Structure 1
Amino acid sequence: DSLGSSDFCSRPGPFSAAAAALLAALMGLLVLATVLGNALVILAFVVDRSLRSHGNFFFLNLAIADLLVGGFCIPLYIPYVLTGEWRLGRGLCKLWLVVDYLVCTASVFNIVLISFDRFISVTKAVRAGQAVLSCKELGMIIVWIAAFLLYGPAILSWEYIAQKSILPEGECHAEFFYNWYFLMIASTIEFFTPFITVTYFNLSIYLNIRKRTSLRNENISPGQEDCEMSFQGKKREHTIFFVKPSNRHKHEKRASSLSPPIKAPRLRLHKLSRDKRVAKSLAIIVCVFGLCWAPYTLLMIIRAACHGHCVLHSLYETSFWLLWVNSAINPILYPLCHMSFRKAFIKLLILKCEHTSPQHHSSVSSK
């Protein structure tokens, strides 16, 4: 018996011409934004060597996963949405399902890695050596293997193990579409555990920064704070005095004696300021991740438990698209939250403008 053809969550028929045109335009814009945004992140890594730090490679891994969402998953799904029928065959349906589940899960696992890396850098103050870098490169590979193992084997072999298929002709979804037990276990691994983990990392970072800020405020006296703030002024003052030969060594000694007690607090203040920016960016990523994934995960479990009879298809479909919207938002978060990415993107745009500007070519040729 077909479970997908007559239930409350069955796919709607074809849209009207106006509605189909509007949906196609919106979905096309989403594809364009996802592909261009994540391609820009990847290109920034190729062009700007300063971005190739150990932590930023996790952003590269995330961008690759999100690029596949925009370049492969969404385009194949658009005709399915507009016509209400899968017309690309069972083989391509299987491939689409494997890639879609793979890249979405890999995107989640990469967010966990990014959060863990920020947690270590802020709370443990570990400087990444070659051994740490190698472990993190291994972690990037493990992300893809784990993401495939979570859903891939089930997608490929479920109907053979169950010795029957519940997939109606003209539809494309996983055979475990209504298996509540499997989806509950998979969702725990794919969403609930990662979300709790990144929330823990974010909270730990916040408490660590709060503690350090409190200690700094307690330990720094008003006189020391004034000394730090007036350091540049005093530096200029000593430079003027150095002109006098007779006082040169005396003032050099005085300047060197002022530097050490000032330098350490300034470095600590710089690290604290950097860690606050890290915490802010991580908090934004976690919040966006939760908002995009929570509706789909909850509706998926509810729908599976009641075999689609208690969830409107339009509501479930909207939550499903939120997962892909997350892939378009992720590359926007990088320049907003990270100065290094912002500089790299500006550099790329300037280079593009210089190469495409007719005035630039004419001025070069005239010279």
Structure 2
Amino acid sequence: MSYKIIMLHQENITVLYCFPDNNSSCRKEVRTGPAYIFLFIILSCVSVCTVILNLLVIISISHFKQLHTPTNLIILSLAVADLLVGLFLMPVKTMELVDTCWYLGIVWCFISQIMNLFSLSASLCSMIIIAVDRYIAVSDPLLYSSRVTVCKMSLIIIMGWSSSLLYNIIYVYFNDYFLQSQTRCYGECVLYIKHSWVIIDLVIVFVTPCSFIIILYSIIFKIAHYQAKAIRAVNNGVSKNQGENISKFSETKAAKTLGIVIFVYFACWIPFFISSLSVERVTSVSVVWTIFGWLLYMNSSVNPLIYAIFYSWFRESVKYIVGCRIFESSSSEMNLFPEHF
């Protein structure tokens, strides 16, 4: 017995109970080693940065009228999904590294599981809409403004988010969440995922939409390459086409930038889904979900950085926000775009 106690102290892990007065309470693990404390601080900083960066994107697009476009509305949708990840998902997962107990009860556990899955699937939904939007914009830029409006895009985004929420409720329900919650110990919030649903989720959430996105972007980049060659051919000779050339260049640049966003998204998602196929049964607290799950969450931190690197309007809007100039009268009318591309 003394040997086990020594080993526990060496690993800096104290075993307690989540609810000492409850006979069905789960065991509580409080990890206080230097490695866990360092990891807790790093991940907490990542969570805070994710919230701040995505808030900057949301405030920028919401405040400045010049940014009220269908494409930026999808970026706003993606930023809201990423904000949910940084605001709700990351803090919970960070706390689980230090304290394994769930203190908020079964109902909030269910809501938490739904929010976790919903925030991630909402990001994928935004990626699909981005691909369709860029395809229309690049393939026929002259008719884009008449075919895609802010009202239409708002409706599409609402439908996409609603579908994501419905799917995740079904996903959690058919993985016997309510049945499992009755048999587990008190103080635990774990979603047991059937292997059959791992396959179903792989097809519905990853393979099908990602194949669709890849096909669309293959077409988009072919069109963009053709347009770039055409612009270089006529840019020096025909001044009357300058406005059209700039428009095509803008659409091409947006397609490439958002293509990078989607590429990074794939890089974060692929390891998780591939690794999940190698186990017979997956739980939301397994090593697979912990390691590759955090890779998914990091994607929500990277997207605003991509906007900062490639979008001048985002850099300009951040200057106005940080400088508190958005509180000035008519600040929403400020010009965020440079005169030349």
Stretches of structure 1 that go unaligned for 5 or more consecutive residues are: 1-10, 229-260, 356-367
The aligned counterpart of 1:343 is 316
Q: Distance in 1 between matches of 2:301 and 2:281?
A: 31
Structure possessing the higher radius of gyration over alpha carbons: 1
Deviation of 1:315 after TM superposition, in Å, equals 4.7
Match of 2:158 in 1: 141
Q: Structure 1: how far apart are the matches of 2:148 and 2:257?
A: 26
> Could you tell me whether the CA contact under 8 Å between 1:150 and 1:186 is conserved in 2?
no
SS at match of 1:87: coil
Determine which of 277, 288, 307 is the counterpart of 2:281.
Answer: 307
Q: What is the match of residue 365 of structure 1?
A: none
Within 5 Å, give how 1:1-367 maps onto structure 2: 14-125=30-141, 126-129=143-146, 132-156=149-173, 158-159=175-176, 167=184, 169-175=186-192, 177=193, 179-215=194-230, 225=236, 228=237, 261-264=238-241, 266-303=242-279, 306-307=280-281, 313-351=286-324
The question of whether the paired residues in 2 share the 8 Å contact of 1:335 and 1:345 is answered with no
Matched to 1:99, the amino acid is: M
Give the aligned CA root-mean-square deviation in angstroms. 3.0
Report if the CA contact (8 A) 1:65-1:107 is conserved. yes
Corresponding residue SS for 1:121: helix
2:40 counterpart SS class = helix
Distance, in Å, in 2 between the alignment partners of 1:299 and 1:342 is 37
Distance 1:281 1:28, change over 3 A: same
Query: In the aligned structure 1, how far is the partner of 2:295 from the partner of 2:183?
Result: 26
C-alpha deviation, 1:16, in angstroms: 3.8
**How has the CA–CA distance of structure 1 residues 149 and 276 changed in structure 2, closer, same or farther, with 3 Å as cutoff?**
same
**Preserved CA contact (<8 Å) 1:58 1:114:** yes
Report deviation, 1:157: 6.0
State the 1:200 CA deviation. 1.8
Q: Between the two proteins, what is the percent identity of the paired residues? A: 22
Distance 1:163 1:317 in 2: 21
Structure 2 unaligned blocks of 5 or more = 1-26, 329-341
Q: TM-score, normalised by structure 1?
A: 0.73
The alpha-carbon distance between structure 1 residues 270 and 353, as it changes in their structure 2 partners (threshold 3 A), is closer
Summarize deviations over 1:320-362 as a string: whole Å, max 9, x none: 111111111122222222222222222222336999xxxxxxx
Q: CA deviation at 1:154?
A: 3.5
Shift of 1:160: 7.6
Q: Which amino acid aligns with 2:291?
A: T
Q: Which has the higher strand share?
A: 2
Length, aligned pairs only: 300
Equivalent in the alignment of 1:360: none
Whole-angstrom CA distance in 2 between matches of 1:57 and 1:353: 19
In the aligned structure 2, how far is the partner of 1:318 from the partner of 1:12?
A: 21
Deviates more, 1:13-22 or 1:314-323: 13-22
Decide whether the 8 Å contact of 2:265 with 2:299 is kept in 1. Answer: yes
Give 1 or 2: higher helix fraction: 1
SS of corresponding position for 1:302: coil
Partner SS, residue 46 of structure 1:
helix
Which has the larger displacement, 116-125 or 72-81? 72-81
Deviation at 1:131, TM superposition (A): 7.1
Task: Using the TM superposition, give the Cα deviation of residue 275 of structure 1 relative to its aligned residue in structure 2, in angstroms.
Answer: 3.0
